[in-house]
Structure 1
Amino acid sequence: MTNSKRKSSASGKNADSASSSVPEKRMKGVKEENEEVLADAVAVQAPAASDGASPARSSDRKPEKKVRAVVKDEEESRFTGDTVPADEARQRWPHRYLGKKRTGTIGGPETLKGTEPPKEFIQARRHYTEALIDGRVLFKLGDNGYVQAGEDEDSYICRIVEMFEGVDGDPYFCAQWFYRAKDTVIQACSDLIDDKRVFLSEIKDDNPLDCLLEKLKIVRVPLDLDKATKRAMLSDGDYYYDMSYLVPFSSYQNLPPDNEADGNESDSTISSESDSNVAVKDDKRSEMRMLDLYSGCGAMSTGLCLGANMANVNLVTRWAVDLNTYACQSLKLNHPETEARNESAEDFLKLLKEWEKLCQSFSLVGGGDPITVEKEESENAEEDDEDNDDVDLGEEVFEVEKVLSICYGDPKEIKKPGLYLKIRWKNYGPAEDTWEPIDGLGDCQDKIKQFVVDGFNSKILPLPGDVDVICGGPPCQGISGFNRFRNKESPLDDEKNKQLVVYMDIVEYLKPRFVLMENVVDIVKFAKGFLGRYALARLVSMNYQARVGLMTAGSYGLPQFRMRMFMWGARPNEKLPQYPLPTHNVVTRGGSPVEFESNTVVHDDIKGVELEKELYLGDAISDLPSVTNDEERDEISYEDMPKTEFQKFISLMKEDMPGFVGVDSSDHYLYDHRPYKLNEDDYQRACQIPKRKGANFRDLKGVRVRSDNRVEWDPDVERVYLPSGKPLVPDYAMTFVEGRSTKPFGRLWWDEIVPTVVTRAEPHNQVILHPMQDRVLTVRENARLQGFPDYYKLLGPIKERYMQVGNAVAVPVARALGYSLAMSCKGTATEAPVFILPKKFPNLEENQ
């Protein structure tokens, strides 16, 4: 509606704004004395969020920050009916009747992380339940409507939660705002969300009554329904809502109970959530089953299982998928209970769909028709028999003894991808096993059926509904700073980012109870965070509750910083897991984008929290025995006793590790304590790096550091050469980062926190030399910096093991998240986005 007589506007915040703080929603002209008359020009307050959200608008046009004065017209916009009795008004809205010079916040004194600090609000003379707008539109308390925004802006959407006359005599209403998807953190990915869907926020503020426009019908619907059903329930309504959008950690979560959410009598109030204790339902199940996608060597799922089991939830990694052969071997070695599949995620998804068809064809699950493998063969049997008359009767006939495995792809490398079965041939051994296309095994129905029935019973592959948790970090190499051809305009058009789509496709197909996605922080930085917003939008479009948090590994008991993004998802009838707050006093270094700064998992008031002391490199590795540059043993004995609490914990045997469930082990050796062997030239260079803090190639002969901290050749020193004839100081070290870097051949020190564990153990452009030994850190030393228990053994060439460790999720972070997951499964998680872990976590026995 457009009305030339109404000139109110909203001073809103554009959803694309990079500001991380909530803009002030102050009433223009408010005086410190509530009794004084307000100025005639009062700005309508547009809600805004710390992650760049703004209230629901009717189109994509960006608002301009323009403010116009309200023209008051008592005959057009005024309260009607009786006032709310004084006693009732004071009971319902006590903050409006505090007396002289009192201020407060709407909704109470508490301020959540990411929301605005307390502001002044208008005190009231009296409250009403009805108002007439434009002399023709009757609004009642609890109704929904459009609110006029600024010039060239689109109308906002709100619910009226208060109507009152201010102490200045002017009429006001308090609005609780709705958001469209494009006005939340999802922004540019809102096309994945139904345009009739809005999200209820917690943000409330005061506005002049004259700013109301048209009345709206907004229907509350159940969350766990498809879009078509929701639209049908909408009937003649304007919008529907099924979820709340909360600013802290960009949270999309279940609506509060009806009586807390709105009290709008005109709305449909069909409950969209099951009771909160529904999450306990699976406690009857002996185990919770997890699928680890892009699993690597299994660090993320290992930590999740340890943490969940510490809280008495039996989480087990039943399936894992990774394209790296050695990583799968490492995972299987440490988790023999896991079906570790060495294949691409795309092929895995295709296999799952074909597996479901096979199970249906043998009536193991509903749907499908009886199997008709190689139908043409049976139809043409007679013709084949006639043709066989010409076949040499002495030719050997192969008979299938057993079906061993199944895959989707091209295992025979004949450029014919499809569904294949691995066959053990009768009278032949394992060396002669072959992969055969299933459509060529039409005469082996009994063997195929036996394999499918056995596989269905043993859950060799998950069917929709079988998986409780999906975790994983889909690689998005297209956002890497090392990729000079990054597609900033359309990141999903880059094949290197397609795994994010595949990950979400698998989630959509299997519909797990919980989802946990990990990724580098660049996912919410690159291209204005498009890929992170896409992942959120996919989860919300699938009716998952979701939230985003940025966590630093060192804050959970490791001597490295390493910030990563973790995105939770939960089905409608589950508690959305929280983020565990830091346990150790590590200053979270920069790295989070401005728009997502409020998503960083930190204590708001660090002074009021008792945290463990931060850990340093020496706390983690000082007890490990000395090894040389050419060490080749995969197993050696410990020499020294642990010197720190971290070392005592990390070297525990399997059965002694808190949260471990499995087969006991004997006293283990020290595995993988061997370094990547430097070539002779690099070894000679490492030997000449001084053994002191901060030493690097700049300490070698012939290098001079200028006043601007750049290096240059010292003209007074003749260039030194190694026995091989190569220079002691390589040219690349002098030119790296335009001569400003101190990383080449840098030596770590005992009292330092490592920035991040890397995948390549080469000293040319990173600080990775041992403090006192002339070598790079070993695989085990890197593994300790990632929190891998010492009993966790890795397989593959030495370079592959470094990659497995460097690509892993820090185990202590995953352990803390696993504990959070268990709280949600048991129904004990709260609605708050963060929680405090038990004291001394994970050494909970110290609390007893």
Structure 2
Amino acid sequence: MESTKIGVETAANILNLTQQQIRNLCRNGKIPAERIGKTWIMDESDVRDYFDTTSCGTADNKVYTRKLEESINFEKPRAMSFFSGAMGLDQGIEKSGFEVVLACETDNACRKTILKNRPNIALIGDVRDYSSEQIREAAGLSEEDDIDLIVGGPPCQAFSTAGKRKGFEDERGNVFLTFIDRILELRPKYAVIENVRGILSAPLKHRPHSMRGEEFDPLSAKELKGGALLRILDVLREAGYGVSFNLYNAANFGVPQKRERVVIVCSRDGEKLPFLEPTHAENGEYGLPKWRTFRDAVSNVSLTGNNHLNFPEKRLKYYRMLAPGENWRNLPLDLQKEALGKSFYAGGGKTGFLRRLGWDKPSPTLVTHPAMPATDLAHPEEHRPLSVEEYKRVQQFPDNWQIEGSLIEQYRQIGNAVPVGLGKAVGRLIMNHLTGEGVEEYKDFKYSRYRNTSDEQWEQMIELEYKKHMGAKASFA
């Protein structure tokens, strides 16, 4: 059957773009089109294909509710997911026995990924736009229906040490606070909050380093490190939730990647849950299997037909000299200086420059773009960045899990995700507590490469810091 011919105005409505943007897409060959007079004519099927493979226009904040005929499986514990991304964390908790009845996401490409793989899920947009009643309605739950678990990783840039660290003064930090509000309003049996390591040191109020020193007033309690997390803990505990947290390396949970994230676990009954139960250890300690490697993850991924970015030729010159597991430091000194330019004389470890992965180690933390000069993630032997397919394997996404959007958007979604194995460990901990089963605990287990990251150790450290700076006057008031 012949495809319907449409004009610029109709295409703009389908893609949620301006008519000028549509003309530019036609002119650049992004959408097959024929110029007739002063306008463009195209096949509707081509326009919809473009919509399906890219993220166009503003975010689609439409609410997708569960259809009446799609009844919830009440035999499974119910979970709600916020800041869902490409659903790495959600797939993990599903593997442990939960049913995710609702997702929440604003990013257009992520929303397409969610609907492509979970077409029957309830999906809402910005959490700030919905009351707890509206969230329940979208999920097909009544006020009397108990929610077993809420999970979410609020935007982390406000707390990242790589950013300005504005914390709750940042718009994204305010989203974090709204998420806490919704948890307390929905009152799930358990809540899990995932975030970057930077949240352990983020202050409640950030003062730029240029405004610190002897000529400035001393830091206030709100400006001391750890204030943001202390505020979160106070709010949750005042509401009756028991709280535990730690910084976890995903490699300890069967993930072929060294990726560290803070996981905060909250229990409505006021009980403090134990730490996540590791399934692997770096060198096989405690009788556990050794960490999984990059080779384990991608051994049967085809090297042909993969989707990947390319390095510029000037960088390939150096990659051709590097073996698996090597980086710029393995080049002769003159070539190190040539390859890095001014960055050679800059401080920092510079470990991401000209970096080939090693076959027999876990992957480094996946980034959102594997071909940026300071964060290269090159294949151990091929002269290219890791492919999208290899990214999925490292993050433990099933091969049939379709990531929507452009190539860059696919990398970004996978790179931002919580590894499925870490999500499964979270779900398994909650499920075991929910059913009364025990959790295997390993004394002095090294969950991450950092010290003082467990709740008790961290709070003792922060208390000492506050006494040192504030004495008896330490207060957030």
- TM above 0.5, yes or no, is yes
Query: Contact 2:202–2:229 at 8 Å: present in 1 too?
Result: no
Alignment partner, residue 428 of structure 2 = 819
Letter in 2 for 1:346: R
In 2, the alpha carbon distance for the partners of 1:755 and 1:730 equals 20
SS at match of 1:613: coil
SS at match of 1:769: coil
Query: Contact 2:242–2:273 at 8 Å: present in 1 too?
Result: no
In 2, the alpha carbon distance for the partners of 1:320 and 1:816 equals 20
Alignment partner, residue 479 of structure 1 = 159
RMSD: 3.0
Alignment partner, residue 760 of structure 1 = 369
Letter in 2 for 1:610: G
Shift of 1:523: 0.8
Query: Contact 1:579–1:817 at 8 Å: present in 2 too?
Result: no
Question: After the TM superposition, which residues 572-721 of structure 1 pair with which residues of structure 2 at under 5 Å, given as runs?
Answer: 572=269, 577-586=273-282, 609-627=286-304, 673-679=306-312, 681-682=314-315, 684-685=316-317, 688-696=320-328, 699=331, 703-704=333-334, 711-712=336-337
Alignment partner, residue 126 of structure 2 = 344
In 1, the alpha carbon distance for the partners of 2:135 and 2:326 equals 57
Query: Contact 2:159–2:196 at 8 Å: present in 1 too?
Result: no
SS at match of 1:771: coil
Q: Does 1:546 find its partner at 2:223? A: no
Judged with a 3 Å threshold, the aligned counterparts in structure 2 of structure 1 residues 772 and 288 are, in CA distance, closer, same or farther, namely: same
Alignment partner, residue 437 of structure 2 = 828
Listed one character per residue, the Cα deviations across residues 45-67 of structure 1 (whole Å, up to 9, x for unaligned) are xxxxxxxxxxxxxxxxxxxxxxx
In 1, the alpha carbon distance for the partners of 2:405 and 2:144 equals 34
Q: Larger Cα Rg: Structure 1 or Structure 2?
A: 1
Query: Contact 1:689–1:695 at 8 Å: present in 2 too?
Result: no
Q: Does 1:494 find its partner at 2:124? A: no
In 1, the alpha carbon distance for the partners of 2:191 and 2:330 equals 47
In 1, the alpha carbon distance for the partners of 2:281 and 2:261 equals 18
Alignment partner, residue 294 of structure 1 = 83
Alignment partner, residue 563 of structure 1 = 260
Shift of 1:293: 0.4
Alignment partner, residue 446 of structure 1 = none
Listed one character per residue, the Cα deviations across residues 554-593 of structure 1 (whole Å, up to 9, x for unaligned) are 1111222211111111112x86543333221227xxxxxx
Question: After the TM superposition, which residues 122-271 of structure 1 pair with which residues of structure 2 at under 5 Å, given as runs?
Answer: none
Report the structure, 1 or 2, having the larger helix content: 2
In 2, the alpha carbon distance for the partners of 1:695 and 1:303 equals 33
In 2, the alpha carbon distance for the partners of 1:699 and 1:693 equals 13
Q: 1:505 aligns with which of 181, 203, 206?
A: 181
Judged with a 3 Å threshold, the aligned counterparts in structure 2 of structure 1 residues 477 and 742 are, in CA distance, closer, same or farther, namely: closer
Query: Contact 1:321–1:345 at 8 Å: present in 2 too?
Result: yes
Alignment partner, residue 51 of structure 2 = none
Question: After the TM superposition, which residues 75-114 of structure 1 pair with which residues of structure 2 at under 5 Å, given as runs?
Answer: none
Question: After the TM superposition, which residues 352-363 of structure 1 pair with which residues of structure 2 at under 5 Å, given as runs?
Answer: 352-353=132-133
SS at match of 2:411: helix
Judged with a 3 Å threshold, the aligned counterparts in structure 2 of structure 1 residues 763 and 747 are, in CA distance, closer, same or farther, namely: farther
Listed one character per residue, the Cα deviations across residues 656-698 of structure 1 (whole Å, up to 9, x for unaligned) are xxxxxxxxxxxxxxxxx4112344554x446534334414386
Judged with a 3 Å threshold, the aligned counterparts in structure 2 of structure 1 residues 462 and 293 are, in CA distance, closer, same or farther, namely: farther
Listed one character per residue, the Cα deviations across residues 169-227 of structure 1 (whole Å, up to 9, x for unaligned) are xxxxxxxxxxxxxxxxxxxxxxxxxxxxxxxxxxxxxxxxxxxxxxxxxxxxxxxxxxx
In 1, the alpha carbon distance for the partners of 2:184 and 2:375 equals 40
Shift of 1:292: 0.4
In 2, the alpha carbon distance for the partners of 1:757 and 1:355 equals 32
In 1, the alpha carbon distance for the partners of 2:92 and 2:378 equals 28
Q: Which runs of 5+ in 1 are unaligned?
A: 1-283, 310-314, 357-455, 588-605, 632-672, 706-710, 714-728, 836-848
Q: Does 1:467 find its partner at 2:163? A: no
Shift of 1:754: 2.4
SS at match of 2:158: helix
Listed one character per residue, the Cα deviations across residues 439-463 of structure 1 (whole Å, up to 9, x for unaligned) are xxxxxxxxxxxxxxxxx5x844775
Question: After the TM superposition, which residues 398-477 of structure 1 pair with which residues of structure 2 at under 5 Å, given as runs?
Answer: 459-460=139-140, 463=143, 465-477=145-157
In 1, the alpha carbon distance for the partners of 2:345 and 2:171 equals 33
Judged with a 3 Å threshold, the aligned counterparts in structure 2 of structure 1 residues 692 and 827 are, in CA distance, closer, same or farther, namely: closer
In 1, the alpha carbon distance for the partners of 2:432 and 2:324 equals 46
In 2, the alpha carbon distance for the partners of 1:750 and 1:355 equals 45
Q: Which runs of 5+ in 2 are unaligned?
A: 1-72, 204-224, 444-477
Judged with a 3 Å threshold, the aligned counterparts in structure 2 of structure 1 residues 696 and 545 are, in CA distance, closer, same or farther, namely: same
In 1, the alpha carbon distance for the partners of 2:292 and 2:397 equals 15
Listed one character per residue, the Cα deviations across residues 624-674 of structure 1 (whole Å, up to 9, x for unaligned) are 1113xxx5xxxxxxxxxxxxxxxxxxxxxxxxxxxxxxxxxxxxxxxxx41
Alignment partner, residue 44 of structure 2 = none
Query: Contact 1:733–1:744 at 8 Å: present in 2 too?
Result: no
Judged with a 3 Å threshold, the aligned counterparts in structure 2 of structure 1 residues 575 and 697 are, in CA distance, closer, same or farther, namely: closer
Judged with a 3 Å threshold, the aligned counterparts in structure 2 of structure 1 residues 678 and 712 are, in CA distance, closer, same or farther, namely: closer
TM-score, length of structure 2 as denominator length? 0.66
In 1, the alpha carbon distance for the partners of 2:152 and 2:135 equals 22
Letter in 1 for 2:380: P
Question: After the TM superposition, which residues 48-63 of structure 1 pair with which residues of structure 2 at under 5 Å, given as runs?
Answer: none
SS at match of 2:231: helix
In 1, the alpha carbon distance for the partners of 2:170 and 2:295 equals 42
Question: After the TM superposition, which residues 796-815 of structure 1 pair with which residues of structure 2 at under 5 Å, given as runs?
Answer: 796-815=405-424
Judged with a 3 Å threshold, the aligned counterparts in structure 2 of structure 1 residues 320 and 753 are, in CA distance, closer, same or farther, namely: same
Q: Does 1:316 find its partner at 2:99? A: yes
Listed one character per residue, the Cα deviations across residues 526-572 of structure 1 (whole Å, up to 9, x for unaligned) are 23222222222121111112211222111111222211111111112
Listed one character per residue, the Cα deviations across residues 807-830 of structure 1 (whole Å, up to 9, x for unaligned) are 111111111221221112212347
Alignment partner, residue 775 of structure 1 = 384
Listed one character per residue, the Cα deviations across residues 14-35 of structure 1 (whole Å, up to 9, x for unaligned) are xxxxxxxxxxxxxxxxxxxxxx
Report the structure, 1 or 2, having the larger strand content: 1
Shift of 1:507: 0.6
Listed one character per residue, the Cα deviations across residues 446-493 of structure 1 (whole Å, up to 9, x for unaligned) are xxxxxxxxxx5x84477575532110011132222232x434xxx423
Judged with a 3 Å threshold, the aligned counterparts in structure 2 of structure 1 residues 465 and 530 are, in CA distance, closer, same or farther, namely: farther
SS at match of 2:130: helix
Shift of 1:496: 3.3
Judged with a 3 Å threshold, the aligned counterparts in structure 2 of structure 1 residues 692 and 519 are, in CA distance, closer, same or farther, namely: closer
SS at match of 2:334: strand
Alignment partner, residue 537 of structure 1 = 234
Alignment partner, residue 94 of structure 2 = 305
Judged with a 3 Å threshold, the aligned counterparts in structure 2 of structure 1 residues 517 and 742 are, in CA distance, closer, same or farther, namely: closer
Alignment partner, residue 81 of structure 1 = none
**Identity fraction in percent:** 24
In 2, the alpha carbon distance for the partners of 1:541 and 1:613 equals 40
In 2, the alpha carbon distance for the partners of 1:734 and 1:462 equals 60
SS at match of 1:783: helix
Listed one character per residue, the Cα deviations across residues 477-517 of structure 1 (whole Å, up to 9, x for unaligned) are 2222232x434xxx423333112201101111111111011
In 1, the alpha carbon distance for the partners of 2:142 and 2:412 equals 28
